[in-house]
Amino acid sequence: MRQRIIVLATLIVVLLTAHLPAFRAGFVWDDTALVLRDPLIRSWRLIPEGFQHFLFLDATASNFYRPLQRLTYAMEYWAFIFNPTAYHLTNVLLHATAAVAFLAFALTFLRLYGVGEQRRLIVASIATAAWALHPIHSAVVDYVAGRADSLAAMFGFVGLYFAIRALALEGRAAWKFHALTAVALLASALSKESGLIFAALWMALLLQQRRWRILVPASLAIVFTFTIYSTLRIQAGDAQIPRLTPPPSLLVRPIIAARAIAEYAGLLIAPINLRMDRDVESHPWGFSEASMTAASWRELQTVAGVALFGAIVIWLVRVRKRDPATFTLLILAMISYLPICGLFALNATVAEHWIYLPSAFLVLALVIQFAQLTDRRNDRLVWKFAVVASLWIALLGVRTFFRAQDWKDQRTFLERTIASGSDSARMLINLGALEMGDGHLNRAESLLRQALAKEPGQPFALVNLAAIALKKNDLTTARNLIEQARKNPMSEAQAEEILAAVENREDGEIDLACLRLAAHIGPPAWSIEQRYVRALDQNGRSETAIAELRALLQTDWYRAESWQLLSDCLAKLDRKSEAALALTEARAYDVHLGRH
């Protein structure tokens, strides 16, 4: 027990040290939508409502049903408002807890396969340290929006730990552990959709152990988990997810799957060029030398992926009978990898944080194999292996420390991501919008033109270019860009909003009709609705503004900002009692109203 406590304490201290730069980081990328703009995290009264909505409530629609992730943000907002250090500390602690859960699973798993006490502690400790310190997980640990993976893994590993413990029990004691497993798996699924894969991992473990009698209670527990999860998720409705580009065709997906294997293998072995927004699709841009070179590298990556897949199959065949523990871990890794392997249409082809769970089982399998190799050699080789393993883990920790600095702020994140090779249209657009906000209009325009060159007709690039033309007082160009942006449903509302600004610049009057159209086109957009209501109020149409807000609050009753704006409009008309009631509602739905 003392040794385990030392291992746990060392692991937590090392993880905190490796991710130290993250504590000085701010909110970047999706953090703004999930933390700064989500109205459902601002009061404990809204926790039940958070279970009835997908994430990205005030951003581009998603079908990410992750209420426990939202719950963690609500707890942090209650305690720390928008202090980014607290949110980053929570992320690191969640990852550390997931590592502890993985260590507990690994120890129990190795005991199941007859590994001795001292040996399984060494193997499990090395595997946990290598997995937890790997810099490929930076997008999970150092990125506030990425915590869904660590939450799901933490609950999932706890569930597998209980599942293995149940194998040695009978009667009521076993049923208690089955119930605990089901609750843990439900929590994992409510943290991230990929948590549902732990049910398949549980069944695979039972089948591998040939525990036929346990299949019935395990199946009942899984049915319970899926029933509760489905019942909760269905309340969120059916989200209409917009797509700017079509998914890869079925014929192309096996190629993407092969490249993904090579991409992930390279990152796990040599995590040098780490970044968000990765892609393994081919994007030819003519017959230039650069284009042909990039295409050639992608073909080589396809060949490497096929070779790696063959090597994994051979590895599976070789260890199937001689090493059941490694075989089982490889099966678990493959099952957990299947949803993100590239054969299914997701919102990307590869992503570093997707490999968070599969890499845990793979690393443990590799450490077991290396440990077995040292058994057949002399003590000198054992020491060499220990030194190499220690150096590799130390290097992983150092790389993690430097990778954590990439999340310092939005500019640092975008510039380093683009510089490392992810110069996608959406990265260029976001950096362009940042430059525009800082007043660097020419730099912003250049970036947005690059984004349009990569994705002709990209609606958000057009909208931002129209905004730049407006700032430059080039109203003709702004109108031309707006007309193009209005053709796409995703940018139509923003285009109408900028058109209202253009007409205001031309006529000196606010075009309320344009703003109303912008506020009512497509999915509800609170930022545009807010501007429309304020414009109504400023133009002496406070009664209309009040009616607009009351109509909005019929559905979005949880939005504190709407109640506060309603209070302001009512107070302006000297309707003090109504204004006070609206302000009371606003304070009920935002425990820190006016303090951020």
User: HEC profile for 441-491?
Assistant: HHHHHHHHHHHHHHCCCCHHHHHHHHHHHHHCCCHHHHHHHHHHHCCCCCC
Domain that holds residue 462: 423-523
- Whether 553 and 579 map to the same domain: the answer is yes
Tell me whether residue 372 is in a domain. no
- 28 band by pLDDT with thresholds 50, 70 and 90: very high
Residue 32 pLDDT exceeds 80: yes
CB 106 within 8 A of CB 373: no
Domain closes at, from 523, 557, 574: 523
For 284, 381, 449, 455, 511, the CA distances from 472, given in Å and listed in that order, are 34, 69, 16, 24, 20
d(CA 529, CA 209): 58
What is the number of other CB atoms lying within 10 angstroms of the CB of residue 366? 17
Domain closes at, from 461, 496, 523: 523
- 152 band by pLDDT with thresholds 50, 70 and 90: very high
Tell me whether residue 384 is in a domain. no
- 101 band by pLDDT with thresholds 50, 70 and 90: very high
Residue 418 pLDDT exceeds 70: yes
566-585 in b/e burial notation, b at 16+ Cβ within 10 A? bbbbbeeeebeeebeebbeb
- Whether 508 and 551 map to the same domain: the answer is no
Interval 521-535: pLDDT, tens: 767 778 888 888 888
Domain closes at, from 487, 504, 523: 523
- Whether 531 and 516 map to the same domain: the answer is no
d(CA 479, CA 1): 71
> Can you read off the two tokens belonging to residue 130?
């290598």
> Can you read off the two tokens belonging to residue 588?
């009920």
For 34, 166, 179, 210, 353, the CA distances from 153, given in Å and listed in that order, are 20, 20, 18, 25, 12
Tell me whether residue 481 is in a domain. yes
Tell me whether residue 4 is in a domain. no
What is residue 492's predicted lDDT score, i.e. its pLDDT?
83
More confident residue, 95 or 392: 95
- Whether 490 and 544 map to the same domain: the answer is no
- Whether 586 and 513 map to the same domain: the answer is no
d(CA 174, CA 172): 5
For 14, 261, 407, the CA distances from 401, given in Å and listed in that order, are 11, 26, 11
- The mean pLDDT value for 495-503 works out to 84
- Whether 504 and 437 map to the same domain: the answer is yes
158-186 in b/e burial notation, b at 16+ Cβ within 10 A? bbbbbbbbbeeeeeeebeebbbbbbbbbb
92-106 in b/e burial notation, b at 16+ Cβ within 10 A? bbbbbbbbbbbbbbb
What is the number of other CB atoms lying within 10 angstroms of the CB of residue 288? 10
Tell me whether residue 89 is in a domain. no
- Looking at residue 7, its amino acid is V
Tell me whether residue 352 is in a domain. no
Q: Which of 463, 438, 393 minimizes the C-alpha distance to 18?
A: 393
- Whether 427 and 517 map to the same domain: the answer is yes
- Whether 485 and 428 map to the same domain: the answer is yes
pTM: 0.92
CATH number at residue 558: 1.25.40.10
- Whether 443 and 518 map to the same domain: the answer is yes
Residue 285 pLDDT exceeds 60: no
DSSP state of 342: S
- Which DSSP string do the residues of 138-199 spell out, in sequence order? HHHHTSGGGHHHHHHHHHHHHHHHHHHHHHT--HHHHHHHHHHHHHHHHHHHHH-GGGGHHH
What is residue 527's predicted lDDT score, i.e. its pLDDT?
84
Tell me whether residue 488 is in a domain. yes
Tell me whether residue 1 is in a domain. no
> Can you read off the two tokens belonging to residue 518?
């912008």
* Chain centre to alpha carbon of residue 301: 26
- The mean pLDDT value for 30-35 works out to 92
- 381 band by pLDDT with thresholds 50, 70 and 90: low
* Chain centre to alpha carbon of residue 337: 16
Residue carrying the six token digits 């989200």: 239
- Whether 537 and 507 map to the same domain: the answer is no
d(CA 192, CA 145): 12
Interval 244-265: pLDDT, tens: 677 778 888 889 999 999 999 9
- Whether 515 and 533 map to the same domain: the answer is no
Could you tell me the sign of the dihedral formed by the alpha carbons of 454, 457, 458, 463, in that order?
positive
309-338 in b/e burial notation, b at 16+ Cβ within 10 A? eeebeebeeebeeebebbbbbbbbbbbbbe
> Can you read off the two tokens belonging to residue 563?
């109640």
Residue carrying the six token digits 């915590």: 147
**Which stretch of 183-187, 247-251, 287-291, 342-346 has the lowest confidence by average pLDDT?**
287-291
CB 51 within 8 A of CB 168: no
Give SS3 for 416.
Answer: helix
- 322 band by pLDDT with thresholds 50, 70 and 90: confident
What is residue 245's predicted lDDT score, i.e. its pLDDT?
73
What is residue 4's predicted lDDT score, i.e. its pLDDT?
81
- Whether 445 and 461 map to the same domain: the answer is yes
CB 545 within 8 A of CB 537: yes
Query: Could you give the number of structural domains in the chain?
Result: 2
